[in-house]
């Protein structure tokens, strides 16, 4: 039986143990038995709706127990789950659902209301959701579901299980497809890396945070804020870099180990986490097509930076994953945990990351995104090769961005976002030596400003930054 298929039986084996906890709701945890019962009830509801093996369910729920129950139900029935963000522009949401050939959209009452009767209120709050009824039948999951019978198709061998949209346009939405085998391989890699113990809480709201914890018998808290982290004293906390910076700026004290990923993680940020109490701080290099790929602990990353290494050391490849580079220097990743294909495309034997870098044995060093290259004069400048050296104390984020000039050339601008309480003139002073060391890649101008971000992970948005500067 694959790892993903083991989760539901393990939940049912210890029904009274807490699965989800929230310090704001003292004395009321979601037990493992309640989560398993809800998953089985959802499976019964989907089966009664007439869905057949291999068909697609679009999931438009907030992360948490309800969403995880839907995923577990679909795994049991061998249905594909297409993860859709209902907050994307309505035209893009419609295109994504059609591309995934979704038979039904499963959502919770809050999202359903924001897309329906409460749409005017949601729009005033800056949230515009597509009218889901115009796209596919909508199945709203209430707080309580009555049990209903359903077939158990788990353990039948690998099957397509997950569709995750990555980019693309309304006319050409892009997504990757994972199977039960690739998800299980990813879970095995995270489990080996995280080494979770039963009983002590884990903080994290993604599937690859929740599932390994629940497999190990640890309760999960999905809300990553100061109160949760300090009151639960988790053994493990999963954060995006923006979440980590927000918690650090709020004065949060950490315990256990902290893993940061989904966006570039600097050695300076990992050092701040250990200074704030974390036993260890890890940066995780992951792709939608492969999670995880590599990981690096703060001391190894700091030693690389202090030793004068160029580029971004993202760590050692996880077991079962291999990496090479092509003629452009692009890192190619392969292994049991990689996606099997792009939606509508042929099978993949490797994943093209879009990252320029080098592979040294089992270590991966990135030199930036290929598409982020800046052409100044006759020189190609890869921002990712130089940005790690600019993350000095007092700098929250630093981007080297190309801004088009009137002569079709580009100007190289360094945009720096200071940490709270750090004055712009102090940031400029601290950056004098690192900038001088850039040599031919030294920027034409330094701008101190807040850097725009994109997506739920809060990745720096280079295109928006360039537009802001222009």
Q: What is the pLDDT of residues 213-248, one digit of tens each?
A: 999 999 999 999 999 999 999 999 999 998 999 999
Q: Which residue has the higher pLDDT, 228 or 125?
A: 228
- Residue 334 CB-half CA count within 13 A: 9
Looking at the predicted structure, is the pLDDT value of residue 308 above 50?
yes
Query: Given its phi and psi angles, is residue 192 left (phi above 0), alpha (psi -120 to 50 degrees) or beta?
Result: alpha
**DSSP-assigned beta bridge partners for residue 238:** 259
**Mean per-residue pLDDT for 91-116?**
80
What is residue 260's three-state secondary structure?
strand
pLDDT tens column, 2-23: 899 999 999 999 999 999 999 8
- pTM, entire model: 0.88
Task: Give the closest residue to 290 by CA, choosing from 322, 249, 260.
Answer: 322
Structural tokens at position 201: 């809480």
Q: What is the pLDDT of residue 111?
A: 65
Min mean pLDDT across 53-67, 107-121, 157-171 is at 107-121
Please tell me the distance from the alpha carbon of residue 143 to that of residue 134, in angstroms, as a whole number. 24
What is the topology classification, in CATH, of domain 3-180? Answer: Rossmann fold (3.40.50)
Is-same-fold flag (3-180; 184-334+350-370)?
yes
Express as a percent the part of the chain with pLDDT over 70: 94
Does residue 123 register a pLDDT over 60? no
- The pLDDT, as a whole number, for residue 435 is 93
**Spatial CA neighbour of 370 closest among 357, 379, 351:** 357
Pairing state of beta strands 453-454 and 257-261?
unpaired
Residue 114 confidence (pLDDT) above 70: no
What the block records as the tokens of 385 is: 């090769």
Domain boundaries, the chain: 3-180, 184-334+350-370, 373-469
Across the chain, mean pLDDT equals 90
**In this structure, what token pair is assigned to residue 48?**
């009664």
- Using DSSP's 3-state secondary structure scheme, residue 316 falls into strand
Q: Please check the confidence at residue 325 and state whether its pLDDT lies above 70.
A: yes
Over residues 269-282, mean pLDDT: 97
Contact, 142 vs 69, CB < 8 A?
Answer: no
pLDDT of residue 130: 60
| Predicted pLDDT of residue 1 | 75
Provide the pairing of β-strand 220-221 with 445-448: unpaired
Residue 399 has what pLDDT?
Answer: 93
pLDDT value at residue 163: 97
User: Over pLDDT 90: what percentage of the chain?
Assistant: 70
Average pLDDT score over residue span 89-100: 85
CA 101 to chain centre: 24
CATH class of 184-334+350-370: alpha beta
- Over residues 42-75, the pLDDT tens digits come to 999 999 999 999 999 999 887 889 999 999 999 9
pLDDT band at 26 (very low <50, low <70, confident <90, very high): confident
Give the model's pLDDT for residue 25.
79
pLDDT of amino acid 125: 47
312: pLDDT strictly greater than 90: yes
The domain 373-469 having CATH identifier 3.40.50.300: the answer here is no
pLDDT for position 142 = 81
């Amino acid at each position: 039986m694959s790892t993903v298929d083991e989760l539901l039986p393990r939940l049912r084996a210890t029904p009274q143990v807490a699965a989800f906890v929230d310090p704001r709701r003292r004395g009321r945890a979601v037990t493992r038995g309640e989560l398993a019962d809800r998953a089985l009830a959802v499976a019964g509801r989907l089966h009664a709706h007439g869905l057949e093996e291999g068909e697609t369910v679009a999931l438009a729920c907030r992360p948490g127990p309800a969403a995880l129950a839907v995923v577990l139900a679909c795994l049991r029935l061998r249905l594909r789950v297409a993860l859709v963000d209902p907050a994307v522009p309505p035209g893009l949401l419609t295109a994504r659902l059609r591309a995934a050939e979704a038979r039904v959209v499963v959502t919770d009452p809050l999202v359903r209301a924001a897309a329906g009767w409460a749409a005017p209120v949601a729009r005033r709050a800056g949230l515009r959701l597509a009218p889901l009824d115009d796209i596919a039948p909508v199945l709203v999951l209430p707080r309580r579901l009555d049990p209903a019978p359903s077939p158990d198709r788990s353990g039948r061998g690998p099957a397509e299980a997950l569709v995750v949209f990555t980019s693309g346009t309304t006319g050409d939405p892009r997504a990757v497809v994972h199977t039960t085998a690739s998800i299980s391989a990813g879970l095995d890699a995270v489990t080996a890396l995280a080494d979770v113990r039963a009983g002590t809480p884990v903080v994290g709201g993604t599937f690859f945070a929740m599932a390994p914890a629940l497999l190990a018998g640890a309760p999960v808290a999905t809300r990553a804020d100061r109160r949760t982290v300090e009151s639960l004293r988790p053994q493990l906390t999963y954060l995006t870099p923006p979440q980590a910076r927000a918690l650090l700026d709020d004065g949060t004290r950490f315990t256990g180990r902290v893993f940061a990923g989904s966006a570039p993680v600097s050695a300076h940020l990992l050092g701040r986490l250990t200074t704030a109490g974390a036993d260890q701080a890890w940066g995780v290099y992951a792709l939608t097509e492969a999670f995880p790929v590599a990981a690096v602990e703060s001391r190894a990353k700091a030693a690389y930076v202090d030793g004068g290494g160029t580029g971004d050391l993202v760590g050692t490849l996880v077991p079962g994953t291999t990496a090479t580079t092509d003629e452009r220097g692009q890192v190619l990743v392969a292994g049991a945990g990689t996606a099997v294909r792009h939606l509508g495309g042929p099978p993949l034997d490797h994943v093209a990351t879009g990252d320029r870098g080098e592979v040294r044995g089992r270590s991966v060093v990135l030199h930036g995104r290929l598409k982020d290259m800046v052409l100044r004069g006759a020189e190609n400048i890869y921002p990712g090769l130089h940005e790690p050296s600019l993350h000095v104390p007092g700098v929250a984020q630093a981007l080297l961005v190309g801004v088009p000039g009137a002569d079709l050339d580009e100007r190289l601008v360094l945009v720096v976002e200071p940490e709270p309480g750090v004055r712009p003139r102090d940031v400029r002073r601290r950056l004098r030596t690192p900038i001088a060391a850039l040599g031919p890649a030294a920027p034409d101008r330094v701008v101190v400003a807040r850097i725009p971000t994109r997506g739920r992970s809060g990745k720096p948005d280079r295109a928006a930054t360039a537009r802001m500067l222009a």
